[in-house]
Amino acid sequence: MHTALRNDHWLHLYGDPLDAQGRAISRALFDAFMPADDDWRELVWTRTRQIWARALAALPDIVPMRICARQHVQAAQHWGYSGA
């Protein structure tokens, strides 16, 4: 994984993503994050569907928060944001 990430970083700084080496680096990074193992992919898709179902089910329970402009300014000042 580390090698794939390092090579991708090098590619963005110095390489050409369209040449053979660049395509090989991109493919290695893709393979590192998404293995070709069908069991792994099915497990990930199952978990993804579970997470989406939980998120969508929770949406009706979310109450919009109303914040007035003064509260925004106070928060910005608290965190040191000057607006410039």
State residue 24's pLDDT score: 97
> Which residue range is the domain that position 44 belongs to?
2-78
Task: Specify the pLDDT at position 82.
Answer: 66
Q: What is the pLDDT of residues 30-75, one digit of tens each?
A: 999 988 899 999 999 999 999 999 999 988 887 776 767 777 777 7
Residue 55 lies in a domain: yes
Q: Is residue 22 one of the residues assigned to a domain?
A: yes
Q: Averaged over 8-24, what is the pLDDT?
A: 96
**What per-residue confidence (pLDDT) applies to 65?**
67
Q: Is 25 inside a domain boundary?
A: yes
Helices marked H in 15-81: 20-33, 38-58, 69-78
Rounded to whole angstroms, how far apart are CA atoms 82 and 29? 40
For residues 10-33, average pLDDT: 95
User: Is residue 35 one of the residues assigned to a domain?
Assistant: yes
Residue 5: count of CB within 10 angstroms of its CB: 13
